[in-house]
Structure 1
């Protein structure tokens, strides 16, 4: 049975650990090269056998630390001492990351390289977190501190790359979002209800050498009462969990409220902590109840005068949702605990007449001009996405530009292409499509007039000049053509197909 240690931030020891990890080249690409692409991909699915087989017998620092910190396996103490000559095993014990049992060094935490790409470039950090279920060989403890998972990467992709003076990472966990936000924020406040999570987050900031993050303990917005920020990000503990005896509650994912009340609380309260022009971005779940769509319920939570852009990425049935999160906690259908947990989830959803559960992204913004009509956009997108943060930023900029009136000139975004489909032998296309290569990867069917307008948007001619020329070309009265094109042009601006020059 592994001992659980309390992580303890120490700047000098973290700097020593970083120096040793750097010297060992414990990074994603060297590790992938050491055990191969297939083994690396298998490890991402929780299968570690091929990885260990590939580096069996190797005693160099990279292999030793790969087994010790990346996989979470005990190693000979002298091998760990040799791989970490600066911090040493005593330093790891002081940090709460490992301990000695006779001649064996036992990891009490994972320390994995985590690469990132943002508007400022490419980089990589080492991120410490609790041992996962693969390393533990069973279910997670309730106070487990999660490393960088799929939700963390999703939120990182979602955050708009906009410089701000002050930012808030609410529910920071291991601190990955705070580190990312610190790259374009002068100061960051990172909060969490878990003292254990905050300790890991502070250790990770120290290992990365980032000194602009302040860590505070508390629930929701309590630690920042009366303060405002240019950006709030949150991957909150939004998982809907039954408040029933025998159902484990994990601090990293369960907010302690019933149903989707935590997301509702965030949406209702976050705008009060934003400066004019400031934005809040979060991941969340929302329930459809008794035939009322989840996004309709969410729409009712948004305060008046606040911009809201909500994107539902997927929805699950109550059974599918329960299975997902029971497995996430390390319990599989082969184990006797699975069926009682499933019944508890189903009973919980039935008590609120829940039909399905949606998952997606929420963007809230306090407009700089309180008199401006707010953006209210609620949509479902199933296709693959990339560069979402930039797409959201550009969509807000387009909305703001349109609030000031139709821009004089518009230009086509660089990732937009046009496809025309002809029936065999036909002179004119039966379908014309505009396609985005990035962002939300939208594909829109357009008619000849709108396609011709977009094709002429190179910044040379004004919008009025283009529409006037098209009215002559199609022999349509100008007011009639403009009435048809104007709302569709506005949609193209907010969707990022067109941008104000």
Structure 2
């Protein structure tokens, strides 16, 4: 695998200026590609995009996308025009490209993938460029073991679910090309990024320089580079993929029964041990009130609920915990996903595909794994030495409203607000219906009254709560004017039921609605 780009300040400044000037943005590239080619490229089909960029040789957006995303060669003169300040010579000095020779009509080929990136997290929108290794779509080859991945779907998910309040010290564990660290630098005073891959750190250093961001980048495995340190926020998209291990040992880069291992995704541990160890160990690096958010896989083993399995990891950590399972795959689906992810297909390498597929199925069968869950883990060290009070493990495979980070932060704050209030204090509180909440009523044809009322959340996790007549009426009355207890008393009189009995029914439901953001304190 090639070296990583140089972070030479002068050359990087010139590159940044040229990229700004060229219009090389997500929208700019999609505009020059057109909707057909852009959609095909999202499906990992490059041919329409190659055709579209070949037809626009004078457009700098087409030249840069053709070279740095699609991996196709371009004439030196075209790159000089697209990067007029840096030029081909400067791009080569940075390690971004190499030219085929010294003649004026030579071509240039990319050594890295450098593409525009746009996202929205809980702190707002970002538009950047990110460098990483060229992917299989551009090279036509299986990925190398030390491949440095760009911003994939998991990276985007983590960026969107991360809480974004101001933090003094942030750790990006397994930083890769630096995407989470760059997001964190917008609201963190000091950001540390660690990775076992020196090549990944090289790309992160370049990306930080390209955006004028100061990162503290350290080499090492998992939490070793930050021994003895505490952080206010830890984020991690760790190498969580459950990959078959070699018989009798952990293996090396290709020590998994002949299967390729990738630094960006394969942590070198059996089953879901890496995620378990991160969940159980990260708390020692959280300052009081500090939050850790990570993505992970966990095994569903025969006869064991996944909540019991993951819940056992949380025991003894002293941390508040909220785990949301977002997807479940059976062993065959999981194997297919990750074998293809590495660039092996049944069409191109039928023998390699069959060998890898069999190894994955055998590995899962050895531990009675029936499925694999993927989800989001949010952990928090309670402030002031308090005992943990939040333990929530749930499944939510439906659509969510991203970015989710603000919703998760608000739910944590709501949990703390509720913990400080017994039922009497809750009854004395004034609540408001959140702006994103609506009510759905379902009637039997011809009936005047609904037989089902659902209170629906438009933001966050998009939850729906089936409400009784009393609860629906209470929610409708929460305009901040009356205390919850006063509303319950009025409803009890209207419904001709005992006030205490109605309070016993409604107050637990109100707690749930506050916790999930349907109702919010008026002050």
Q: 1:21 aligns with which of 19, 22, 39?
A: 19
Q: Structure 1 residues 489-498 or 288-297, which shifts more?
A: 288-297
- How far is the alpha carbon of 1:8 from its aligned partner? 2.9
Q: CA offsets, 1:385-408, max 9 Å, x none?
A: 013212211111111001100441
| Matching of residue 140 in structure 1 with residue 143 in structure 2 | yes
Q: 2:57 aligns with which of 13, 36, 59?
A: 59
Consecutive unaligned residues of structure 2, counting only runs of 5 or more, are 246-255
Q: Equivalent residue of 1:485, what SS?
A: helix
Contact preservation (8 Å) 2:280, 2:317: no
Instruction: Name the residue aligned to 1:457.
Output: 478
Q: 1:298 aligns with which of 301, 310, 327?
A: 310
Q: Structure 1 residues 384-393 or 137-146, which shifts more?
A: 384-393
Q: CA offsets, 1:459-482, max 9 Å, x none?
A: 111112111111211122222111
Contact preservation (8 Å) 2:113, 2:134: yes
Instruction: Name the residue aligned to 1:390.
Output: 406
Instruction: Name the residue aligned to 1:371.
Output: 386
Total equivalences in the alignment: 498
Contact preservation (8 Å) 1:229, 1:273: yes
Contact preservation (8 Å) 1:5, 1:97: no
Q: Equivalent residue of 1:288, what SS?
A: strand
Contact preservation (8 Å) 1:305, 1:374: no
Given the superposition, is the C-alpha separation of residues 373 and 476 from structure 1 closer, same or farther in structure 2, using an over 3 Å criterion? farther
Distance 1:64 1:373 in 2: 55
- How far is the alpha carbon of 1:431 from its aligned partner? 0.3
| Matching of residue 403 in structure 1 with residue 419 in structure 2 | yes
Instruction: Name the residue aligned to 2:154.
Output: 151
| Matching of residue 424 in structure 1 with residue 445 in structure 2 | yes
Contact preservation (8 Å) 2:121, 2:161: no
- How far is the alpha carbon of 1:383 from its aligned partner? 0.9
Instruction: Name the residue aligned to 2:207.
Output: 204
Instruction: Name the residue aligned to 2:339.
Output: 326
Distance 2:216 2:240 in 1: 23
Distance 1:268 1:94 in 2: 44
Contact preservation (8 Å) 1:271, 1:306: yes
Contact preservation (8 Å) 2:3, 2:199: no
Distance 1:333 1:280 in 2: 39
Instruction: Name the residue aligned to 1:11.
Output: 9
| Matching of residue 79 in structure 1 with residue 100 in structure 2 | no
Distance 1:208 1:373 in 2: 39
- How far is the alpha carbon of 1:282 from its aligned partner? 0.6
Instruction: Name the residue aligned to 2:188.
Output: 185
Distance 2:302 2:459 in 1: 37
Distance 2:266 2:388 in 1: 36
Distance 1:452 1:305 in 2: 39
Instruction: Name the residue aligned to 1:68.
Output: 67
- How far is the alpha carbon of 1:89 from its aligned partner? 2.6
| Matching of residue 175 in structure 1 with residue 178 in structure 2 | yes
Contact preservation (8 Å) 1:373, 1:403: no
Q: CA offsets, 1:82-129, max 9 Å, x none?
A: 322322333323322211221221101010000122344323100000
Contact preservation (8 Å) 1:141, 1:250: yes
| Matching of residue 471 in structure 1 with residue 474 in structure 2 | no
Distance 1:52 1:229 in 2: 45
Contact preservation (8 Å) 1:31, 1:66: yes
Distance 1:239 1:9 in 2: 31
Q: 2:240 aligns with which of 234, 238, 241?
A: 238
Contact preservation (8 Å) 2:197, 2:263: yes
Q: Equivalent residue of 2:44, what SS?
A: coil
Q: CA offsets, 1:350-387, max 9 Å, x none?
A: 12121111001100011114335511110111110013
Contact preservation (8 Å) 2:158, 2:295: yes
Q: Equivalent residue of 1:113, what SS?
A: strand
Instruction: Name the residue aligned to 2:220.
Output: 218
Distance 1:373 1:251 in 2: 34
Q: 1:359 aligns with which of 360, 365, 374?
A: 374
Distance 2:496 2:435 in 1: 31
Q: 1:114 aligns with which of 89, 114, 117?
A: 117
Distance 2:414 2:48 in 1: 49
Instruction: Name the residue aligned to 1:32.
Output: 30
Instruction: Name the residue aligned to 1:271.
Output: 283
Distance 1:373 1:202 in 2: 37
Contact preservation (8 Å) 2:79, 2:88: yes
Distance 2:446 2:302 in 1: 52
Report the aligned-residue RMSD. 1.4
Q: Equivalent residue of 2:155, what SS?
A: helix
Q: 1:348 aligns with which of 363, 366, 373?
A: 363
Instruction: Name the residue aligned to 2:249.
Output: none
Contact preservation (8 Å) 1:401, 1:500: no
Q: Equivalent residue of 1:233, what SS?
A: strand
Given the superposition, is the C-alpha separation of residues 465 and 425 from structure 1 closer, same or farther in structure 2, using an over 3 Å criterion? same
Q: CA offsets, 1:39-76, max 9 Å, x none?
A: 11110111111122223242222221121112121111
Instruction: Name the residue aligned to 2:39.
Output: 41
Given the superposition, is the C-alpha separation of residues 322 and 409 from structure 1 closer, same or farther in structure 2, using an over 3 Å criterion? same
Distance 1:50 1:154 in 2: 28
- How far is the alpha carbon of 1:304 from its aligned partner? 4.3
Q: Structure 1 residues 247-256 or 57-66, which shifts more?
A: 57-66
